[in-house]
Amino acid sequence: MEHKAKNPIVSLRDIYVEFDSEVILNHINLDIEDKEFVTILGPSGCGKTTTLRIIGGFLSPDSGDVFFENKRINDVPPHKRNVNTVFQKYSLFPHLNVFDNVAFGLKLKKVSKKEIKEKVQKMLAIVDLKGYEKRSVSKLSGGQQQRVAIARALVCDPKVVLLDEPLGALDLKLRKNMQQELKEIQQKTRTTFIYVTHDQEEALTMSDTVVVMNNGVIEQIGTPTDIYNEPVNAFVADFIGEANILNGVMLDDCRVKILGKEIECVDKGFGKNVPVDVVIRPEDVEVVPIEQAQFTGVVCDAVFKGVHYEMTVVCNNCQWLIHSTVCQPVGSEIGMRVTPFNIQIMNKMFPTANNEFSAKVVSSSKEDNTIKIDIEGNSVEVSGQYFEEGTVLDIVLPPDGLHIAGDGNGDLNDVYIESVIWKGEHNEIILESDERKWIMQSDQDEQVATYAPISFDFTKAVFFPKPVGEGDNR
């Protein structure tokens, strides 16, 4: 995913970073427009803070280039870049008062006392701390300390301010207030803000541009409205706001099949009879009389959320989430309808419906009707099958033929959990091992960006022996 800006102040080109043989950033490209508020959003471990550190000069990429105002700055140290950073823990000096904390950078630059006083007072007025000059920072609230840190970052007139989850330590109400204040400060100062968070609401509330990251790559770049209304894949749809993400089949242009029903949509170009992901936002599901409905379901839960009711409705064993200003009684049957424009169709994140791979038989027993196959250097036993040693098998294993090994001992260990998406009936989990990706179904939630052992249930697999001489084409 590449984003070309008209007037970029920061450009990342083919940035690659790995730590301990683990890829953190996988050849990302990004342009950041001058004077815009950009939020880099994603789950823990996706690479967003690493991206910020590379822009700030605190980390050098293994390969790729960093440009600032069209000049390559890979070798420029942090203190010589026209960039300042605001950290989550603020890093204020407890022995200095508010004025001296804000003035610290100016004093290092040998600015005159008169100019320091003018700049600090102007900046404190912008962050609404006028009159707090002599106050000890230890006596300030969390929100006030945050504003001191922002004032200190801005007072030296940097072209870019980096903000690494700066609101993470604040309580919910104060965090919401600070979201609006940060946006107002950015607009007043006309400084480029690059903000890192895992909080979707922060990204949608404050940003001109949102960069959604996952697993070391950029999934999508766009305005908050674009990201919410036109997600490029199920991960973005799931991560930004709430969504019903369903398995579907694109029958033809503008015709999709969901839960056995053919309905109209507006998307084209997917082909015929192609498996797709279908995204429907909860607020886009209309509750209608059953005779007018595309789908019917039973309300199994209803919670008042202040502005609307959030209802869970079960339709054909699949859970739907609906937001409505009118609450339907739990246990009642309701009709549901979605207009074609509100149905988003996207390609599947996993290229095939099943796990398809090849493996060689490393040993076999005709008497026991078992074989052992080699999967990424691991010998895995398969019961109920017999093929001669040396046979290469093409194997088709459905998603429910994989599971996380609860005892910690799997057929493959240390497999990376790339994404976990609820599909109404189960979680669809994409994993990555040393040589390939896997797709798994599970009723359990798993933590994205962590590692887990997986085991195979080969009773659900189909085996196709290759003709002798074709070899192992894994």
pTM listed for this prediction: 0.85
Residue 148 near residue 140 (C-beta atoms within 8 A): yes
CA geometry: angle at 424 spanning 419 and 425, to 5°? 95
Structure tokens given for 110: 């040998």
What Å distances lie between residue 150 and 321, 386, 441, 466, CA to CA? 39, 68, 45, 64
3-state SS assignment for residue 389? coil
Low-confidence ranges of the chain (pLDDT < 70): 1-5, 88-90, 169-170, 468-474
Residue 40 near residue 91 (C-beta atoms within 8 A): no
How far apart (Å, rounded) are the C-alpha atoms in residues 84 and 102? 13
How far apart (Å, rounded) are the C-alpha atoms in residues 302 and 312? 6
Q: How does DSSP classify residue 282?
A: G
- H-only helix segments in 15-131: 48-56, 98-108, 113-126
Q: What local confidence, expressed as pLDDT, does residue 73 receive? A: 96
| Strands 244-252, 274-280: pairing kind | antiparallel
Residue 394 near residue 355 (C-beta atoms within 8 A): no
Q: What local confidence, expressed as pLDDT, does residue 5 receive? A: 63
How far apart (Å, rounded) are the C-alpha atoms in residues 279 and 245? 5
Q: How does DSSP classify residue 369?
A: T
How far apart (Å, rounded) are the C-alpha atoms in residues 116 and 109? 10
pLDDT tens readout for residues 149-178: 888 888 888 899 999 887 776 677 777 777
Residue 114 near residue 188 (C-beta atoms within 8 A): no
Q: How does DSSP classify residue 390?
A: T
3-state SS assignment for residue 456? strand
Q: What local confidence, expressed as pLDDT, does residue 473 receive? A: 46
pLDDT tens readout for residues 308-333: 999 999 999 999 999 999 999 999 99
| Strands 344-347, 333-337: pairing kind | unpaired
